[in-house]
């Protein structure tokens, strides 16, 4: 997805993989690596979506949010679901890794959306990984990715 294109939750899909995926498949705007004795994590901000990789020894798990028209590999795909309504998913790999996620997509009035946007932007400025995209700004709101 190029900088000038609009991205909405209705065009996104959630994917979970049990293997790494080549970075060449994504437009990576920010790359963040976390290295701990027990594991490594890689976070790619790919516009208003992301790829989060978790690696421990020979085990890999990748969470991907991407546009529904993006061609992603089927090999290693554990799940695929649209961003619609409320979804929960849990999986336990044989290697002892337990993955849990929950997301909820809802419609908001413009006033509630604007307040929520500003609240999340303020929170992102204090903690987590916050990447704004001022070039995509519309209606006085700057799109961003916030991973906490």
**15-65 tens-digit pLDDT:** 999 999 999 999 998 899 999 998 999 999 888 789 999 998 888 999 999
Instruction: Please give the distance of CA 138 from its chain centroid, rounded to a whole number.
Output: 21
DSSP 10: G
User: Given this model, what pLDDT does residue 1 score?
Assistant: 43
| SS3 at position 33 | strand
- Answer yes or no: are the C-beta atoms of 135 and 110 closer than 8 Å: no
Domain extents for the chain? Answer: 9-104, 110-147
pTM: 0.81
- Answer yes or no: are the C-beta atoms of 7 and 63 closer than 8 Å: no
| SS3 at position 24 | helix
Cα 103 to Cα 89: distance, rounded to the nearest angstrom: 9
Question: Above 90 in pLDDT, residue 96?
Answer: no
């Amino acid at each position: 997805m190029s900088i000038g294109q609009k991205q909405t939750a209705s065009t996104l899909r959630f994917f979970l993989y049990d293997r790494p995926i080549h970075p060449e498949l994504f437009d990576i705007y920010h790359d963040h690596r976390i290295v701990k004795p027990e594991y490594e994590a890689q976070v790619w901000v790919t516009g208003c979506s992301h790829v989060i990789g978790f690696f421990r020894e020979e085990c890999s798990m990748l969470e991907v949010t991407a546009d529904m028209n993006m061609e992603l590999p089927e090999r290693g795909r554990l799940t695929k679901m649209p961003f619609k309504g409320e979804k929960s998913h849990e999986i336990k790999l044989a290697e002892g890794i337990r993955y849990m996620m929950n997301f909820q997509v809802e419609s908001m009035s413009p006033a509630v959306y604007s307040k929520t946007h500003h609240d999340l932007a303020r929170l992102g400025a204090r903690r987590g990984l916050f990447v704004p995209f001022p070039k995509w700004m519309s209606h006085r709101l700057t799109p961003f990715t916030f991973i906490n």
